[in-house]
Amino acid sequence: MAFFRKEGTSIDKLKYSFDNGARANRFDVGVMCPKLGFKLEGIRVESCSLPGRQITTTAFSEYGMPRNLPTGEIKNDEGTTDITFLCDASFADRFIIEAWMQEIFNGDGGDVDGTSIHPIMNYYYDYVGEVKIAQLYGDDTESLVYTLHEAYPVSFAPMELSQSAEGMLKFTVTFAYRTWESEYKKAPRISLLNKGRKVLDALRETAEVAGNVGIKSGGFVRRLNKLDGYANKLNRTFGGNG
């Protein structure tokens, strides 16, 4: 615990540099489908979620206690997410998304096009698009952006009407998607990596000196170099400069 008692420690710097934090109510949503020729940005969304991801595992044991090994399958929250939209008086957003959904099953059947009674599914890549969910800073610039790839609407929740109801109508759409990727617009500085590099350099120098005087240290040096490579890769990923 001596590390945390030192004057000017990393925890002090963390407290000093911590901002107001990411806010759950500051976000923006856009949907697009190039094949159908539309792109909706800044649409009125009440709620949505940033999907998670899971590497599936299975228990395996050569002997003794089992270990969990990846199966090779990656799950993205079962590949669906719900978005709740606020309706304007003309239902413009709902009209476009509903038309998108209808385009999935109104394929060309020769003499008759597909309908909800007799659906004819169109080609998959003719109706899939993207959903973009952006977490925003206080100045409305993007901080974290999720892009859902090969997305399309699969269901509408019922909309309840009531004479006693107040407020705006809402409609919830479930979107299916194949996978997602995230982008951090203003990447954090990974200062610990550069501090760690000083330790790695010192250890490497010590190991090399030990090797020069006959102590077996070649494997240790290789492991240090590999660890250093991982640190470099992580630093490039996050865009840190020290």
The closest alpha carbon to 137, from 22, 1, 49, 43, belongs to: 22
| 68-97: b (≥16 Cβ within 10 Å) or e | eeeeeeeebeebebebebeeeeeeebbebb
Per-residue pLDDT of the chain (242 residues; tens, 9 = 90+): 444 444 555 556 555 555 667 788 889 999 999 988 888 887 889 999 999 999 999 999 988 899 999 999 998 888 999 999 998 888 888 999 999 999 999 988 777 888 989 999 999 999 999 999 999 988 888 989 999 999 999 999 999 999 998 888 999 999 999 999 999 887 555 444 455 555 556 665 665 555 554 545 556 666 666 766 666 665 555 555 44
Distance from C-alpha of 180 to C-alpha of 29, rounded to nearest angstrom:
14
Res 67: pLDDT: 93
Distances (CA, A) of 16 to 11, 65, 193, 216: 9, 45, 20, 45
Greatest pairwise CA separation for the chain in angstroms: 89
Taken as a whole, the chain contains a residue count of 242
Burial class of 143 by CB neighbour count within 10 A (0 to 12, 13 to 18, 19+): middle
Res 59: pLDDT: 94
CA dihedral 200, 204, 206, 211 (to 10 degrees): 160
Contacts of residue 48, Cβ cutoff 8 Å, sequence gap at least 6? 27, 29, 81, 82, 83, 84, 133
Can you give the C-alpha Rg of the chain in angstroms?
26
Q: Which CATH class is domain 18-184?
A: mainly beta
Helices (H), 78-214: 92-105, 191-212
Res 5: pLDDT: 46
Distance from C-alpha of 66 to C-alpha of 58, rounded to nearest angstrom:
9
CA dihedral 146, 178, 84, 88 (to 10 degrees): 90
